[in-house]
Structure 1
């Protein structure tokens, strides 16, 4: 039954929520300036790096993901200039979009329950998409495109959570069950998070190619693109420890149709969950006092590279990093 008293959730509502929430977390003026500069064929690494320093929140994540990409080198990246060189301008653009789009969850007002499992699933979709890409022989090293492609699948859920608060918490229920989330959303909200994700990309002016998986999921067909991204959502649930039995049963049918051995995936779950911990720690940050720390932003920027490198190297437990237990 559709909940009474809720706003009409459409493209205009989505754009309004995105703007309202991002302004509480990010310096949107700097972010948009950087994104515009990245569109130029003459964009320069050093210029982009200097511009990124104007928004320490985004800059710290650029440094953090650069360390993730080059973690096999064993040398920590501690400057925004080096991070931009390592990632490349196209990857920096994609990463900025992903950080800006995941910002609303961290900026939502109030201490709403069920925040951790939703956040965990969204990040796990990024991990899952990157893993499936590697299994299909696609380039994943030094390339965060697949991580971003997975993250955007859950953006609509993030926007709904941030914009509706307790009303969306009731949709999620006592424990997030990604396998049945679309059905619960349609019953209570008359819209699903996948559609809101696509509206979010449009509000951000993102390239059409970024919405390929979302459009396939909305079409509900059974072609290879639909199967690929449905596997990403379900494997994300499995990695995050949600809907374990239902997810395993679905993957037993879906993964072989993509040419991927499910037993191999099950054997890799430990590695994938470790990846979830690492990426989760990069993005998960308490922003409650961020706005009140304007005077310390430059200091935070200077120290961010070293701090994030330590977080990546440190062997944190799942409970310490994302507030859950691996048992």
Structure 2
């Protein structure tokens, strides 16, 4: 059984739970008013693997641009610097944790669920006309990242929580609270805070099971919570839960999605989800 709180799981293994240097270089460049999108493109281009993955994404059905994008600088000029940086972070995290073994649950299914949640959150944000919709994709990708930390640091506890969730047919976060006193959302929030990611991203991940507790970024949190619920209901992607999460009663009212929007979003999620998954698992 783990001692202490969620922060202790992060601080005891900083090397494992750290981001690649390229991300911090990107953040520094974004915060420098003298940097141009060519400068950002040059930083990304030093990482050839990241460059290839990003160009693959921006040329996929996920974006549906009419002509092929050949360079990162071109992609930035169309998508925007902040948006491409968020997309880069999502891509970096997936590959950073992709080597976690399938000891307790299927990691491909875990990432499929995370990607589906990201696509659903992005679709909700797009329907609402939110700015920088990639931040919602990023939050969706990262919403369950705390599970991987628990699996890495407390594998026996992770096993016990999965067994309890299965036996009681309860959501995994409830089993985690029973076993640990906190859940993967708490751990995910601590990890993103340690990575010095934006507070709105930290809060959306930390409270995605309890959006009513979000203080500053209530809407972002409700969107991620609702996206998580939607992909469970639509069975788009799959994860280790043995019961569907409960939807926050005010979700539809807060995000302003109508039944017609939901039908449109379902089709869009299915289409974009298949496109993004193929790039990572084929």
Question: TM-score, normalized by length of structure 1?
Answer: 0.68
Contact 1:122 / 1:154 at 8 angstroms: preserved in 2?
Answer: yes
Q: Does 1:276 align with 2:273?
A: yes
SS of the residue 1:108 aligns to: coil
State the 1:115 CA deviation: 1.2
- Quick one: which of 174, 179, 187 aligns to 1:188? 179
State the 1:129 CA deviation: 0.8
State the 1:38 CA deviation: 2.3
Q: Does 1:207 align with 2:198?
A: yes
Q: 1:122 to 1:179 in 2, by over 3 A?
A: farther
Contact 1:109 / 1:162 at 8 angstroms: preserved in 2?
Answer: no
1:1-327, aligned counterparts within 5 Å? 4=1, 6=2, 8=4, 10-17=6-13, 19-20=15-16, 22=18, 28-68=20-60, 71-109=63-101, 113-139=105-131, 143-165=133-155, 167-169=157-159, 171-172=161-162, 180-217=171-208, 221=212, 225=219, 227-239=222-234, 240=236, 242=238, 247=244, 250=247, 254-255=251-252, 258-262=255-259, 265-266=262-263, 268-282=265-279, 284=280
Q: Distance in 2 between matches of 1:228 and 1:79?
A: 32
Structure having the larger proportion of residues in helix: 1
Q: Distance in 1 between matches of 2:229 and 2:36?
A: 39
State the 1:205 CA deviation: 0.9
State the 1:260 CA deviation: 2.3
Farther-moved stretch of structure 1 (49-58 vs 256-265) = 256-265
Q: Distance in 1 between matches of 2:196 and 2:86?
A: 12
State the 1:272 CA deviation: 1.3
Which consecutive unaligned segments of at least 5 residues does structure 1 have? 286-320, 322-327
SS of the residue 2:171 aligns to: helix
Deviations 1:221-277 (A, max 9, x none): 288635443212211323425599975984998436644234752565343122112
Which consecutive unaligned segments of at least 5 residues does structure 2 have? none
RMSD: 3.8
Contact 2:10 / 2:17 at 8 angstroms: preserved in 1?
Answer: no
Deviations 1:138-184 (A, max 9, x none): 357xx422211322322222333344456535534598x99712112
Farther-moved stretch of structure 1 (94-103 vs 215-224) = 215-224
